[in-house]
Structure 1
Amino acid sequence: MAANTSPRPPTYWFVNAWLGSQDFSEEFINGGFWENRLSENRSAYSAMVQEMAPGDQIALKIGGQRPAFVGAVVRHSWFQTIAIAATGTVIANVGDGIRANVEWTREPEPRVWSFYTNFRLIWKVVPSVSSDPDFQSALVAFAFNHEPQRVYSWLALRDLWRNRAQNREQSGSLRADVDFTQFVWAWFFEDASFKLREFVDPTIRNQSLSAFEGLLGRVTDYDPFTVMASWNRQSFDVDMRRDRAMRVKDALKLRTPLPEHFAGVATVDGNSRFCTVSPNP
């Protein structure tokens, strides 16, 4: 029987900077390595260290807690965070189950990621085989591509953190005037706006014009404001807005479910919002 030669999926490692009560960030970064110095749990993590392969991306993390949306949505309610102090690439595995050599790049300031966290010594992240692929892909993009975390959507639309913010019984902790169910459309709007950033290149926009012709009419170019406004006109009822939003979803190849309603979303004037005058006389 032939051996299984399927390629190893992209694997990312998030490793602690603090071991016990001591911060080893400077030593790890300056020395170009990471190692498990906690003798009492080496056997538990030995296999994971040995699995680190040259070319794997790795991040040095610091766990903690901080208030999320202080004064806006939650008062005095704390959420778990990790701070990314440095990122790098594994360049060699010593093979002892303790140490891997790493080419680190220090962050000017630790960048804080909230909600979806793991405080274990080593966190192995493989989005392609994860039960939480969206969470893990967003974490990888934040850590290694410096993409922002869309914090509001995580808080307002994900049950675990929404319920903690909305229902936690603590004196003075809850903004009773905030009804999170009003904002179920936020995730779709954010995904659409972030996806539109990929079309900043005119060449890419030109290649996608045909996908928008049924939505925007016959156009030679478009901008993100026109696309976002296409399902938010004053004259549209909910069904029409959902139909237009579905066309945008298909054109942008979004995976996010369509909103059931658009309560609280500002609409645009029903008059023409297209430029009808050619810039070339």
Structure 2
Amino acid sequence: MEQNILEIKNLKFEEQLKNKDFNLKVQKNSIHSILFKNDQLKKQLLNFLVGEKVEPEAELIYQGTVLKPSAIKNLYQDQIYLLNQYSAVNPDKDPLGIFKFNKKGEGENKSTVFPEMTIAENIFFGREPLKKILFFKLIDNQKMIEKTAELLELLEVELSPEQKMLKLSPLEKQLVELLKTLSCGAEIILIDQAVIELPAAKKQIFFDFMQKLKQKGITIIYFTKEIEEVFAVSDFVSVLKEGQNKGTRKVSEIEYNELALLLMGR
């Protein structure tokens, strides 16, 4: 029997939708797309998943355990990673705010990469491997480079651990961010329209790497407005519309037109 890693029960959205509930089950080790049109509903759902907004009537169930509001935030800090179109490293995992100097976008939409630092330094920032010399602990740069090289072998693009981030394309930066989730030991990745500005061929490279992450035991919840992307990458799809899940289907068992009709509310 397949195991659900995450469940949402009785999530209520905006005031005019209080008579409707959003419910969702996400199967462990799957890629589950959330197809949506309304950005505000998507944002509220994401805020609930990362513990930014308490929803008193809703339940978040992680591996069979109902989480208290404080535990939801802890789950996000420990097991869940969020990636959007502006990400390079996750600002929510940066309590001192030292990543936030590169202001591309407003509010949560800021590029947070260290452009002058290397791929290895970005991936392991704050978690660098250490070596002991006499009474001192120093960063073990060689070990960090070796670990990064192992991660980079998973990619379809050729990158070096010592390349600076400013030299990377938007796709390469996002792939490095996905590698960071592996190095952090994340169990669930929330991907919010991370490839929205990439051409189709570049998107497919990103999607192929998502499949590799799934093979590593990571569960991915992928937020998108594009039906084509659902069929390109997903095992399951749920349609978020009017404050409800209009249906969760196996992607292999649904036709394009049927999914389009669900999204349109027919």
TM-score computed with the length of structure 1 as normaliser: 0.26
> If you compute each CA radius of gyration, which structure gives the higher value, 1 or 2?
1
User: Which structure would you say has the larger RCO, counting Cα contacts within 8 Å and 6 or more residues apart?
Assistant: 2
